[in-house]
Amino acid sequence: MKPTSIYQAWQYPRRSTASIMMQVMLSLVPGTVLMMHWLGPGVLINWVVLIAASVLCEATVMRLRQRSIKTALNDGSIVLAAWLLALCIPPSLPISQLIVGAVTLSVLGKHVYGGLGQNPFNPAMVGYAVLLISFPKTMTLWFDPNLAVSWTTPAVWADWWNLKWFANPSVAPWDSITQATPLDRLREFRNQSASVSINSLHTSPWRELSVAWLMGGVYLLARGVIRWHIPVAVLTAAIIALTVQSYLSPNTTLPVWSAMLYGGMVFGAFYVATDPVTAPSSVRARLLYGASIGLLSVILRTHSNYPEGFAFAVLLMNASVPLLDRWFVLDKRS
Protein backbone atom coordinates (compact mmCIF):
# COMPACT_ATOMS: atom_id res chain seq x y z
CA MET A 1 0.00 0.00 0.00
CA LYS A 2 1.45 3.34 -1.01
CA PRO A 3 1.42 6.07 1.60
CA THR A 4 -0.89 8.92 0.78
CA SER A 5 -0.90 11.11 3.82
CA ILE A 6 0.02 10.40 7.39
CA TYR A 7 -1.25 11.25 10.76
CA GLN A 8 1.31 11.72 13.39
CA ALA A 9 0.74 10.92 16.99
CA TRP A 10 3.70 12.80 18.36
CA GLN A 11 3.78 16.55 18.14
CA TYR A 12 7.21 17.96 17.52
CA PRO A 13 8.17 21.55 16.78
CA ARG A 14 9.04 21.25 13.14
CA ARG A 15 10.34 23.91 10.82
CA SER A 16 8.33 24.49 7.65
CA THR A 17 9.68 25.20 4.19
CA ALA A 18 8.16 28.67 4.43
CA SER A 19 9.93 29.35 7.71
CA ILE A 20 13.27 28.32 6.20
CA MET A 21 12.70 30.76 3.33
CA MET A 22 11.64 33.43 5.82
CA GLN A 23 14.84 33.00 7.79
CA VAL A 24 16.92 33.43 4.66
CA MET A 25 14.97 36.54 3.68
CA LEU A 26 15.31 37.93 7.18
CA SER A 27 19.06 37.52 7.01
CA LEU A 28 19.08 39.39 3.68
CA VAL A 29 17.30 42.46 5.07
CA PRO A 30 20.29 44.39 6.51
CA GLY A 31 22.43 43.95 3.40
CA THR A 32 19.52 44.85 1.12
CA VAL A 33 18.74 48.01 3.07
CA LEU A 34 22.41 49.03 2.98
CA MET A 35 22.56 48.37 -0.75
CA MET A 36 19.50 50.54 -1.31
CA HIS A 37 21.03 53.23 0.87
CA TRP A 38 24.35 53.25 -0.96
CA LEU A 39 23.30 52.59 -4.54
CA GLY A 40 20.07 54.55 -4.65
CA PRO A 41 16.37 54.06 -5.39
CA GLY A 42 17.19 51.89 -8.41
CA VAL A 43 17.86 48.97 -6.09
CA LEU A 44 14.44 49.38 -4.47
CA ILE A 45 12.76 49.57 -7.87
CA ASN A 46 14.61 46.44 -8.99
CA TRP A 47 13.59 44.65 -5.82
CA VAL A 48 9.91 45.54 -6.06
CA VAL A 49 9.58 44.94 -9.81
CA LEU A 50 11.47 41.63 -9.81
CA ILE A 51 9.53 40.20 -6.88
CA ALA A 52 6.16 41.37 -8.20
CA ALA A 53 6.84 40.11 -11.73
CA SER A 54 8.19 36.77 -10.51
CA VAL A 55 5.23 36.16 -8.19
CA LEU A 56 2.83 37.03 -11.00
CA CYS A 57 4.68 34.75 -13.37
CA GLU A 58 4.74 31.93 -10.80
CA ALA A 59 0.99 32.28 -10.22
CA THR A 60 0.31 32.23 -13.96
CA VAL A 61 2.43 29.14 -14.50
CA MET A 62 0.81 27.33 -11.58
CA ARG A 63 -2.58 28.24 -13.03
CA LEU A 64 -1.57 26.85 -16.40
CA ARG A 65 -0.22 23.71 -14.76
CA GLN A 66 -3.51 23.39 -12.86
CA ARG A 67 -1.77 23.32 -9.50
CA SER A 68 -2.50 25.17 -6.31
CA ILE A 69 -1.30 28.77 -6.62
CA LYS A 70 -1.61 29.23 -2.88
CA THR A 71 0.76 26.36 -2.06
CA ALA A 72 3.33 27.65 -4.53
CA LEU A 73 3.28 31.20 -3.20
CA ASN A 74 3.02 30.27 0.47
CA ASP A 75 6.41 28.65 0.65
CA GLY A 76 8.14 31.92 -0.26
CA SER A 77 10.62 30.26 -2.55
CA ILE A 78 9.83 32.44 -5.56
CA VAL A 79 10.11 35.64 -3.53
CA LEU A 80 13.49 34.54 -2.23
CA ALA A 81 14.78 33.63 -5.69
CA ALA A 82 13.64 37.00 -7.09
CA TRP A 83 15.16 38.78 -4.11
CA LEU A 84 18.52 37.10 -4.69
CA LEU A 85 18.48 38.07 -8.36
CA ALA A 86 17.57 41.66 -7.42
CA LEU A 87 20.76 41.86 -5.38
CA CYS A 88 22.93 40.80 -8.32
CA ILE A 89 21.84 43.29 -10.96
CA PRO A 90 22.76 46.95 -11.50
CA PRO A 91 20.31 49.59 -10.23
CA SER A 92 20.01 51.10 -13.68
CA LEU A 93 18.66 48.01 -15.42
CA PRO A 94 15.54 48.93 -17.44
CA ILE A 95 12.22 47.51 -16.27
CA SER A 96 11.69 45.57 -19.50
CA GLN A 97 14.89 43.68 -18.83
CA LEU A 98 13.87 43.09 -15.23
CA ILE A 99 10.73 41.42 -16.49
CA VAL A 100 12.77 39.25 -18.82
CA GLY A 101 14.79 38.26 -15.75
CA ALA A 102 11.67 37.46 -13.72
CA VAL A 103 10.13 35.31 -16.45
CA THR A 104 13.39 33.46 -17.02
CA LEU A 105 13.79 32.84 -13.31
CA SER A 106 10.32 31.42 -12.82
CA VAL A 107 9.70 29.60 -16.08
CA LEU A 108 13.13 28.55 -17.32
CA GLY A 109 14.63 28.34 -13.87
CA LYS A 110 11.91 26.37 -12.15
CA HIS A 111 8.79 25.29 -13.91
CA VAL A 112 10.14 23.70 -17.06
CA TYR A 113 11.64 21.12 -14.70
CA GLY A 114 8.50 20.59 -12.63
CA GLY A 115 8.58 23.39 -10.08
CA LEU A 116 9.99 23.67 -6.59
CA GLY A 117 12.49 21.00 -5.69
CA GLN A 118 12.85 19.68 -9.23
CA ASN A 119 15.04 22.32 -10.86
CA PRO A 120 18.65 21.32 -11.44
CA PHE A 121 19.87 24.92 -11.83
CA ASN A 122 19.67 27.74 -9.35
CA PRO A 123 16.75 29.87 -10.66
CA ALA A 124 18.28 33.19 -9.61
CA MET A 125 21.51 32.34 -11.39
CA VAL A 126 19.65 31.17 -14.49
CA GLY A 127 17.95 34.58 -14.53
CA TYR A 128 21.25 36.34 -13.97
CA ALA A 129 23.10 34.42 -16.68
CA VAL A 130 20.35 35.01 -19.25
CA LEU A 131 20.29 38.72 -18.46
CA LEU A 132 24.08 39.00 -18.57
CA ILE A 133 24.36 37.28 -21.92
CA SER A 134 21.34 39.03 -23.44
CA PHE A 135 22.02 42.54 -22.15
CA PRO A 136 25.76 42.74 -21.57
CA LYS A 137 25.83 46.50 -21.74
CA THR A 138 23.17 47.38 -19.21
CA MET A 139 24.10 44.45 -16.97
CA THR A 140 27.62 45.79 -16.44
CA LEU A 141 26.77 49.45 -15.82
CA TRP A 142 26.95 50.48 -12.22
CA PHE A 143 26.38 54.04 -11.04
CA ASP A 144 28.85 55.99 -9.09
CA PRO A 145 27.33 55.74 -5.62
CA ASN A 146 28.33 59.32 -4.87
CA LEU A 147 26.28 60.68 -7.76
CA ALA A 148 23.38 58.34 -8.00
CA VAL A 149 22.15 58.36 -4.45
CA SER A 150 19.29 60.62 -3.72
CA TRP A 151 16.22 59.58 -1.89
CA THR A 152 14.77 63.03 -1.32
CA THR A 153 15.04 65.14 -4.45
CA PRO A 154 12.01 64.69 -6.73
CA ALA A 155 14.06 65.64 -9.78
CA VAL A 156 16.31 62.67 -9.24
CA TRP A 157 13.31 60.38 -8.90
CA ALA A 158 12.11 61.68 -12.23
CA ASP A 159 15.46 60.82 -13.70
CA TRP A 160 15.19 57.33 -12.28
CA TRP A 161 11.75 57.03 -13.86
CA ASN A 162 13.11 57.97 -17.27
CA LEU A 163 16.02 55.69 -16.85
CA LYS A 164 14.10 52.66 -15.71
CA TRP A 165 11.26 52.92 -18.22
CA PHE A 166 13.02 54.29 -21.23
CA ALA A 167 16.64 53.39 -20.51
CA ASN A 168 17.34 57.06 -20.99
CA PRO A 169 19.49 58.97 -18.53
CA SER A 170 18.25 62.53 -18.84
CA VAL A 171 20.65 64.16 -16.41
CA ALA A 172 23.98 63.39 -17.95
CA PRO A 173 25.59 61.07 -20.45
CA TRP A 174 26.29 57.55 -19.19
CA ASP A 175 30.00 58.03 -18.92
CA SER A 176 29.83 60.71 -16.31
CA ILE A 177 27.50 58.92 -13.94
CA THR A 178 28.66 55.35 -14.15
CA GLN A 179 31.66 53.82 -12.60
CA ALA A 180 33.50 50.60 -12.98
CA THR A 181 33.17 48.10 -10.19
CA PRO A 182 36.44 47.03 -8.58
CA LEU A 183 36.55 43.78 -10.52
CA ASP A 184 35.85 45.60 -13.78
CA ARG A 185 38.74 47.90 -13.12
CA LEU A 186 40.86 44.95 -12.27
CA ARG A 187 40.07 43.36 -15.61
CA GLU A 188 40.96 46.57 -17.38
CA PHE A 189 44.26 46.66 -15.58
CA ARG A 190 44.90 43.08 -16.50
CA ASN A 191 43.99 43.62 -20.15
CA GLN A 192 46.38 46.56 -20.32
CA SER A 193 48.98 44.56 -18.39
CA ALA A 194 49.20 47.46 -16.00
CA SER A 195 49.94 46.95 -12.37
CA VAL A 196 47.03 47.26 -10.02
CA SER A 197 46.81 50.14 -7.66
CA ILE A 198 44.22 49.49 -5.04
CA ASN A 199 43.64 53.17 -4.47
CA SER A 200 42.34 53.63 -7.96
CA LEU A 201 39.50 51.14 -7.32
CA HIS A 202 36.18 52.31 -5.97
CA THR A 203 35.93 49.86 -3.17
CA SER A 204 32.91 51.27 -1.43
CA PRO A 205 30.25 49.96 -0.92
CA TRP A 206 31.29 46.52 -2.18
CA ARG A 207 33.47 45.70 0.78
CA GLU A 208 30.82 46.79 3.27
CA LEU A 209 28.14 44.79 1.47
CA SER A 210 30.27 41.66 1.56
CA VAL A 211 30.58 42.08 5.31
CA ALA A 212 26.78 42.37 5.53
CA TRP A 213 26.32 39.15 3.52
CA LEU A 214 28.89 37.43 5.70
CA MET A 215 26.99 38.41 8.81
CA GLY A 216 23.72 37.23 7.27
CA GLY A 217 25.39 33.92 6.44
CA VAL A 218 26.68 33.51 9.97
CA TYR A 219 23.14 34.13 11.23
CA LEU A 220 21.82 31.38 8.93
CA LEU A 221 24.51 28.99 10.14
CA ALA A 222 23.69 29.79 13.75
CA ARG A 223 19.99 29.15 13.14
CA GLY A 224 20.79 25.89 11.42
CA VAL A 225 19.13 26.98 8.16
CA ILE A 226 22.25 26.26 6.14
CA ARG A 227 25.12 23.96 7.03
CA TRP A 228 28.75 25.01 7.02
CA HIS A 229 30.13 22.62 4.40
CA ILE A 230 29.33 24.51 1.21
CA PRO A 231 30.16 28.12 2.23
CA VAL A 232 33.36 27.07 3.97
CA ALA A 233 34.42 24.98 0.98
CA VAL A 234 33.66 27.82 -1.47
CA LEU A 235 35.51 30.45 0.53
CA THR A 236 38.48 28.21 1.36
CA ALA A 237 38.95 27.11 -2.24
CA ALA A 238 38.64 30.70 -3.46
CA ILE A 239 41.18 31.96 -0.92
CA ILE A 240 43.62 29.23 -1.89
CA ALA A 241 43.16 29.89 -5.61
CA LEU A 242 43.56 33.65 -5.16
CA THR A 243 46.67 33.16 -3.04
CA VAL A 244 48.27 30.98 -5.69
CA GLN A 245 47.31 33.53 -8.32
CA SER A 246 48.80 36.41 -6.38
CA TYR A 247 52.10 34.55 -6.16
CA LEU A 248 52.10 33.74 -9.84
CA SER A 249 51.30 37.24 -11.06
CA PRO A 250 51.61 39.68 -8.20
CA ASN A 251 51.24 42.79 -10.40
CA THR A 252 47.83 42.12 -11.88
CA THR A 253 46.11 40.74 -8.80
CA LEU A 254 44.57 42.30 -5.76
CA PRO A 255 45.51 41.34 -2.24
CA VAL A 256 43.62 38.14 -1.44
CA TRP A 257 41.29 39.64 1.16
CA SER A 258 40.34 42.54 -1.11
CA ALA A 259 39.67 40.15 -3.96
CA MET A 260 37.41 38.13 -1.70
CA LEU A 261 35.40 41.15 -0.59
CA TYR A 262 35.02 43.15 -3.82
CA GLY A 263 33.06 40.68 -5.88
CA GLY A 264 30.07 38.48 -5.26
CA MET A 265 32.11 35.73 -3.67
CA VAL A 266 30.79 36.06 -0.11
CA PHE A 267 27.21 36.61 -1.22
CA GLY A 268 27.40 33.60 -3.52
CA ALA A 269 29.05 31.35 -0.95
CA PHE A 270 26.29 31.88 1.62
CA TYR A 271 23.20 32.58 -0.46
CA VAL A 272 23.63 31.00 -3.90
CA ALA A 273 25.79 27.91 -3.54
CA THR A 274 23.85 26.81 -0.44
CA ASP A 275 20.52 26.51 -2.28
CA PRO A 276 19.61 23.00 -1.12
CA VAL A 277 17.56 22.09 -4.19
CA THR A 278 20.49 22.49 -6.56
CA ALA A 279 23.27 21.33 -4.22
CA PRO A 280 24.29 17.71 -3.69
CA SER A 281 22.92 15.90 -0.67
CA SER A 282 25.81 14.14 1.02
CA VAL A 283 28.49 15.89 3.04
CA ARG A 284 31.53 14.89 1.00
CA ALA A 285 29.76 15.76 -2.23
CA ARG A 286 28.91 19.16 -0.76
CA LEU A 287 32.52 19.84 0.13
CA LEU A 288 33.65 18.96 -3.37
CA TYR A 289 30.81 20.99 -4.88
CA GLY A 290 31.63 24.07 -2.81
CA ALA A 291 35.36 23.83 -3.47
CA SER A 292 34.79 23.48 -7.21
CA ILE A 293 32.57 26.56 -7.23
CA GLY A 294 35.21 28.59 -5.39
CA LEU A 295 37.96 27.46 -7.73
CA LEU A 296 35.92 27.83 -10.92
CA SER A 297 34.72 31.29 -10.03
CA VAL A 298 38.30 32.49 -9.51
CA ILE A 299 39.33 30.97 -12.84
CA LEU A 300 36.34 32.47 -14.66
CA ARG A 301 36.92 35.83 -13.01
CA THR A 302 40.46 35.92 -14.35
CA HIS A 303 40.19 34.26 -17.72
CA SER A 304 36.66 34.83 -19.02
CA ASN A 305 35.12 37.87 -20.66
CA TYR A 306 33.20 38.73 -17.52
CA PRO A 307 34.64 40.40 -14.47
CA GLU A 308 32.84 38.00 -12.13
CA GLY A 309 32.41 34.28 -12.63
CA PHE A 310 30.32 33.13 -9.69
CA ALA A 311 27.03 32.64 -11.52
CA PHE A 312 28.63 30.52 -14.22
CA ALA A 313 30.62 28.54 -11.68
CA VAL A 314 27.40 27.73 -9.81
CA LEU A 315 25.54 26.78 -12.98
CA LEU A 316 28.39 24.53 -14.10
CA MET A 317 28.52 22.79 -10.77
CA ASN A 318 24.70 22.53 -10.65
CA ALA A 319 24.98 20.50 -13.82
CA SER A 320 27.39 18.10 -12.12
CA VAL A 321 25.23 17.52 -9.02
CA PRO A 322 23.58 14.32 -10.31
CA LEU A 323 27.07 12.91 -10.89
CA LEU A 324 28.27 13.98 -7.43
CA ASP A 325 25.17 12.47 -5.87
CA ARG A 326 25.94 9.21 -7.63
CA TRP A 327 29.55 9.17 -6.51
CA PHE A 328 28.95 9.89 -2.86
CA VAL A 329 26.01 7.73 -2.02
CA LEU A 330 27.06 6.38 1.32
CA ASP A 331 29.69 8.77 2.52
CA LYS A 332 28.88 8.92 6.19
CA ARG A 333 28.53 5.21 6.70
CA SER A 334 31.69 3.78 5.22
Partner 1 sequence: MSSSAIHALPGGLALSAPMDAHIDATIHELDLQPSYYLPLINYSRTVLHPEVKSGDCVLGGEQLAPGVVAPTSGTLTEIRQHPWPHPSHTQVPTLVLESDGRDEFQQFTVIDHTQVGVEEILNRLENSAIHGLGGAAFNTANKIRRAYEHKNLTLIINAVECEPGINCDDALMQQHPSEVLQACNAIRQWLRLPSAVLAIENDKQTAITALRDDQTPDLTSIKITELPTIYPSGAESPLVQRLTGIKLQPGERATDAGVLCLNVATVLSIHDALMGQAAVDRIVSISTQSLQHSMNLRVRFGTPLKAVIEFAREHNTAIEAAWRSNTQTIRIGGPLSGFAMDMLNAPVLASTNALIVGKEHPLNEATACIRCSECATVCPVNLLPQELYAAAASEQLDTAARYSLDACLLCGCCDLVCPASIPLTPWFRFAKDATRQKQQSDAAAEVARLLSEKHSNRVQRRAIEKEQQEAARRAAAAQRQNSAQDIKAALTRVKNKRPGSGS
| Chain contacts with partner 1 (rule: CB under 8 A) | 1-3, 5-12, 14-17, 19-20, 71, 75, 77, 115-118, 227, 276-277, 279, 281-282, 325, 329-330, 332-334
Strand partners, 143: 178
Considering beta carbons, is residue 27 or 210 the nearer one to partner 1?
A: 27
Distance CA 138, CA 113 (A): 29
Q: CA 300 → CA 40, 176, 288, 310, distances in Å?
A: 29, 29, 18, 8
Least distance from C-beta 59 to partner 1, angstroms?
A: 17
Considering beta carbons, is residue 42 or 231 the nearer one to partner 1?
A: 231
Considering beta carbons, is residue 9 or 248 the nearer one to partner 1?
A: 9
Let me know if 297 is exposed, middle or buried by CB neighbors in 10 A (0-12, 13-18, 19+). Answer: buried
Contact by Cβ (8 Å): 90, 139:
yes
Considering beta carbons, is residue 116 or 124 the nearer one to partner 1?
A: 116
Least distance from C-beta 26 to partner 1, angstroms?
A: 16
Contact by Cβ (8 Å): 274, 230:
yes
Least distance from C-beta 310 to partner 1, angstroms?
A: 21
Of 129, 101, 145, 149, which is closest to residue 264 (Cα–Cα)? 129
| Residue 305 dihedral angles phi and psi, to the nearest 5° | -80, -10
Least distance from C-beta 317 to partner 1, angstroms?
A: 15
Considering beta carbons, is residue 202 or 227 the nearer one to partner 1?
A: 227
Contact by Cβ (8 Å): 83, 25:
yes
How many other C-beta atoms lie within 10 A of the C-beta of residue 13? 4
Least distance from C-beta 124 to partner 1, angstroms?
A: 15
Least distance from C-beta 194 to partner 1, angstroms?
A: 46
Considering beta carbons, is residue 4 or 197 the nearer one to partner 1?
A: 4
